[in-house]
């Protein structure tokens, strides 16, 4: 599917005013454009399911790669659950209810989507727990890396200063890194 088809499908399923609260069109384009970096059968972990928009976008954009997304949230994800079911994505998106700092998950990760608690100390804890599980050559997508989320920027910059990776240049609120 091309981006416009996915965007239309998303807009028919999720009211745009709802998903725009979470992801801008530029963010969605970024996810779509990363398909060439996503290896077949990738294990994707998302911190922060929320409305389900980003998980659904990853599933639709990277469909050819046959990925499984484990998306974690400690809040109410009934809306996301319903959308995922309606779109027939139950086999590719698995929702995990729990605190990202407490969920027991030890499998190697190919793609990590960081979009949970945005407070500095919480982001630091998430990065300490989850980034070591990302394989060398795996992708880390830091969402909301911008001037309105300085806690995220500070935590991510600290992590980047201590961990090697190459950056993929994108035009959105994402910071995207290939872990070394």
Ligand X SMILES: C[S@@+](CC[C@H](N)C(=O)[O-])C[C@H]1O[C@@H](n2cnc3c(N)ncnc32)[C@H](O)[C@@H]1O
Residue ranges binding ligand X (CB under 6 A): 22-23, 48-51, 53-54, 72-75, 99-101, 115-117
Q: Rounded to the nearest whole angstrom, what is the least distance from the CB of residue 45 to ligand X in the complex?
A: 12
Burial 126-153 (b: 16+ CB within 10 A, else e): bbeebbeebeeebbbbbbbbeeebebbb
Cβ closer to ligand X: 38 or 95? 95
Token output for 82 = 């319903």
Q: Rounded to the nearest whole angstrom, what is the least distance from the CB of residue 129 to ligand X in the complex?
A: 11
Q: Whose CA is closest to 3, among 60, 56, 47, 45?
A: 60
Q: Dump the DSSP string for 20-75.
A: TTT--HHHHHHHHHGGGGPPTT-EEEEE--TTSHHHHHHHHHTGGGT-EEEEEESS
Q: Rounded to the nearest whole angstrom, what is the least distance from the CB of residue 48 to ligand X in the complex?
A: 3
Cβ closer to ligand X: 99 or 136? 99
Q: By Cβ distance, which residue is nearest to ligand X?
A: 50
Q: Rounded to the nearest whole angstrom, what is the least distance from the CB of residue 117 to ligand X in the complex?
A: 3
Cβ closer to ligand X: 21 or 167? 21
Query: What CA–CA distance (Å, rounded) separates 139 from 150?
Result: 22
Cβ closer to ligand X: 115 or 164? 115
Cβ closer to ligand X: 32 or 180? 32
Q: Rounded to the nearest whole angstrom, what is the least distance from the CB of residue 118 to ligand X in the complex?
A: 7
């Amino acid at each position: 599917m091309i981006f416009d088809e996915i965007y239309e499908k998303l807009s028919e399923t999720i009211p745009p005013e709802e998903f725009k609260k979470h992801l801008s069109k530029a963010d969605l384009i970024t996810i779509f454009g990363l398909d060439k970096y996503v290896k077949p059968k990738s294990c994707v972990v998302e911190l922060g399911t929320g409305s389900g928009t980003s998980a659904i976008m990853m599933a639709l954009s990277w469909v050819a790669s046959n990925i499984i997304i484990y998306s974690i949230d400690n809040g109410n994800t009934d809306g996301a659950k319903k959308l995922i079911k309606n779109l027939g994505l139950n086999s590719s998106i698995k929702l995990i209810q729990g605190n990202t700092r407490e969920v027991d998950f030890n499998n190697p990760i190919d793609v990590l989507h960081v979009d949970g608690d945005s407070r500095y100390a919480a982001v630091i804890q998430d990065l300490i727990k989850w980034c070591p599980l990302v394989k060398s050559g795996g992708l880390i997508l830091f969402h909301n890396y911008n001037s309105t989320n300085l806690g995220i920027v500070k935590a991510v910059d600290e992590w980047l200063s201590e961990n090697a990776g190459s950056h993929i240049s994108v035009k959105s609120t994402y910071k995207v890194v290939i872990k070394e």
